[in-house]
Amino acid sequence: MAEKIYDAAIVGAGPTGAALALGLAQAGLEIAVIDARDLSLPARADRRNFAIVTGSWRLLRSLGVTGALEDTSQPLNGLEAVDGGTHYFGQPSVLFMKEDMESPDPDEPLGHMVMAEPLQAALDLAMSDETRITHLSNERYIASRQAPGLIESELESGKIVRARLLVGADGMNSPVRTAAGIATEGRDYQKSVFTANVHLSKPHEGIARQLFTPEGPFATLPLKGDRANLAWYMKRGAAETLTKQPIDAIEAELNARFSGFAGDMRIDGKPGSYPLILQLATALTAPRTILIGDAARRVNPLAGQGLNQGFRDVGALIELVQETIHLGGEIGSPQMLEAYSQARHFDGTGTALVLDGIDRLFSNDLMLTKPIRTLGLMAASKISPLRRLLARKASATEDGVAGPLAGW
Ligand SMILES: Cc1cc2nc3c(=O)[nH]c(=O)nc-3n(C[C@H](O)[C@H](O)[C@H](O)COP(=O)(O)OP(=O)(O)OC[C@H]3O[C@@H](n4cnc5c(N)ncnc54)[C@H](O)[C@@H]3O)c2cc1C
């Protein structure tokens, strides 16, 4: 019997690969999902929490996974920012609230704070129910080669997977990108983000709060039950060292620095740290190959845009595949790859560079930049059309390049 030829082989069943597999299978395509992780086991412990903007939430809802996330997700109602000098915690600027989004549904929030583990579990479960998805889990992709009308992927186990299109959703070190000969560019910020979940001493009302310090931002992102996910940006090494301290020492440091901004905080669970890196693939496609998510770009998590950008890749690719089928075109054709590249290159790269600019602007205490950024925060909070624009960009309910502070 001839080997099966899939419409698409997706390497990586992280949030972007899994969402794409579901969307393409629901569009009627036969999909192979290859992941080094054993998909029958629970996802590895992941303490991250994602600020999922409205556009991404709508994608997840169309894939049928939001029902499983409602109990653990916190709706986001607004964003406040404070330009803090070394010691000063000023008055917050309310950048925008959900009302600024002007959604036809007045109850629709700006987005949701979603915990990484329930998100992955919901996507894994939905994939396992989908008969058009073949799981090749616990399998490692190593290389691919072109064949007439298709691309063949070789797995470490010796298996060969044949497909019309190969999608690299395999994260920032993407072996698919390497095998396709696509280079990357970017920079290492020499900073890391310290993250922890905390109980807050006062209600957060679904508001995300960011304080800009000379080192970088400190943010409290609201979680269910008046808890928050902290993101504290520090020099490389400092965040890693802090996570190794006893919990009461970390709490003391946090409260000494930030209780004036966030109220008293009590740590809930184990803290973690992640290095900050900007990495952009120099191309999003190669013959019969497309990159999505962190394989395409790893952005500064300053504005929580990484996964939201990945979900925009997913949405664009699902739409493109549906259009290709509708017009009788060929999955994986040069025309389809070019259309994907055009749809996603500017938005993804533009957002990454805007975030890089914000990082440079806010991560210092220079007299020159402080008035500019303070004016920026004031303008954003005081000028209604600007607030509304930021809110629509933040929630990704409007197309185009996500603006500064969009999506946090
Ligand atoms: C501290 C922090 C906070 C963040 N907060 C936010 C936020 O609030 N909002 C937001 O939008 N984004 C956020 N991000 C960014 C977000 O985490 C990433 O953009 C997202 O996880 C990328 O998903 P992905 O599916 O592209 O890749 P990954 O999640 O990295 O998945 C890659 C998959 O590929 C598989 N794989 C790798 N190599 C192989 C191989 N050879 N063979 C088979 N499989 C392979 C892996 O097993 C894995 O399952 C944050 C990031 C950090 C570090």
- State residue 51's pLDDT score: 87
Let me know the angle formed at the C-alpha of 200 by 196 and 203, rounded to the nearest 5 degrees: 135
111-115 and 93-97: which strand pairing?
unpaired
Any atom of ligand 1 within 6 Å of the Cβ of 395: no
From the CA of 14, how far away is ligand 1's center (Å)? 6
Those residues whose C-beta lies under 8 Å from the C-beta of residue 49, and which sit 6 or more positions away, are: 113, 114, 115, 116, 197, 221, 223, 229
Ligand 1, residues 44, 141, 166, 294: which to mutate, most atoms within 8 A of Cβ? 294
CB 206 within 8 A of CB 109: yes
Q: Distance between CA atoms of 342 and 333, rounded to whole angstroms?
A: 14
Please write the tens of the pLDDT for every residue from 90-119: 555 555 566 665 666 767 788 899 999 999
Nearest to 20 by CA among 157, 202, 181, 168: 168
* Domain 5-65+115-185+278-363 is found in CATH 3.40.920.10: no
Ligand 1: distance of its center to the CA of 294 in Å? 6
Atom of ligand 1 nearest to the CA of 37: 47
The CA angle 376-379-383, to the nearest 5 degrees, is 155
Residue 29: predicted pLDDT: 97
The pLDDT value recorded for residue 345 is 81
Q: How many CB atoms lie within 10 A of CB 117?
A: 17
Q: Please tell me the distance between residue 298's alpha carbon and the centre of ligand 1 in angstroms.
A: 9
Residue 308 Cβ inside 6 Å of ligand 1? The answer reads yes
Q: Residue 399: what pLDDT? A: 43
Cβ neighbours of residue 11 closer than 8 Å, sequence gap 6 or more: 17, 34, 35, 141, 153, 166, 167, 168, 169, 170, 175, 176
Q: Is the CB of 175 under 6 A from ligand 1?
A: yes
Atom in ligand 1 nearest the alpha carbon of residue 310 = 26
In the reported structure, the alpha carbon of residue 133 is separated from the centroid of ligand 1 by a whole-number distance in angstroms of 21
Q: How far is the CA of 41 from the centre of ligand 1 (A)?
A: 18
User: Which atom of ligand 1 lies at the shortest distance from residue 231's CA?
Assistant: 1
CB 98 within 8 A of CB 391: yes
Testing ligand 1's pocket by substitution, the residue of 48, 53, 117, 240 carrying the most ligand atoms inside 8 A of its CB is 48
Residue 283's SS3 state is: coil
What is the block-wise mean pLDDT of the chain (408 residues), using blocks of 10 residues? 87 97 97 91 74 91 96 89 60 58 69 92 95 96 97 98 98 97 92 92 91 82 92 92 96 93 93 90 97 92 78 96 94 97 76 56 48 52 54 52 29
Predicted pLDDT at 407? 31
How far is Cα of residue 95 from the mean position of the Cα atoms in its chain? 21
Q: Which atom of ligand 1 is nearest to 53's Cα?
A: 11
How many Å lie between the centroid of ligand 1 and the Cα of residue 247? 27
Residue 41 confidence (pLDDT): 72
Enter the tokens of residue 170.
Answer: 């395999």
What is the 306 CA–ligand 1 centroid distance (Å)?
8
Give CA angle at 354 (88, 335), nearest 5°.
160
Question: 51: Cβ below 6 Å to ligand 1?
Answer: yes
Q: Is 250 in the pocket of ligand 1 (CB under 6 A)?
A: no
Q: State which of 33, 170, 176 you would mutate to test the pocket of ligand 1, scoring each by most atoms of that ligand within 8 A of its C-beta.
A: 170
316 φ/ψ angles, rounded to the nearest 5 degrees: -65, -40
The pTM of the full predicted model, rounded to 2 decimals, is: 0.85
